[in-house]
Chains A and B, each alone.
Chain A
Amino acid sequence: DVKVTQSSRYLVKRTGEKVFLECVQDMDHENMFWYRQDPGLGLRLIYFSYDVKMKEKGDIPEGYSVSREKKERFSLILESASTNQTSMYLCASSLLGGTAQPQHFGDGTRLSIL
Chain B
Amino acid sequence: AQKVTQAQTEISVVEKEDVTLDCVYETRDTTYYLFWYKQPPSGELVFLIRRNSFDEQNEISGRYSWNFQKSTSSFNFTITASQVVDSAVYFCALTGYGSGYALNFGKGTSLLVTP
Contacts and interface: CB of A to CB of B under 8 A. Distances in A.
B43 A108 contact: yes
Interface string A30-74: 010101000011111100101000001010000000000000000
Contacts of A88: 43
Contact of B107 (A42, A56, A92, A103): A42
Contact of A102 (B43, B47, B105): B47
Residues of A contacting B: mostly: strand
Contacts, number: 54
Interface of A: 31, 33, 35, 40-45, 48, 50, 56, 58, 88, 90, 92, 94, 99-108
16 contacts: A31-B101, A40-B107, A41-B107, A43-B91, A44-B105, A48-B100, A56-B102, A100-B52, A100-B95, A101-B101, A102-B35, A102-B47, A103-B47, A104-B47, A107-B42, A107-B43
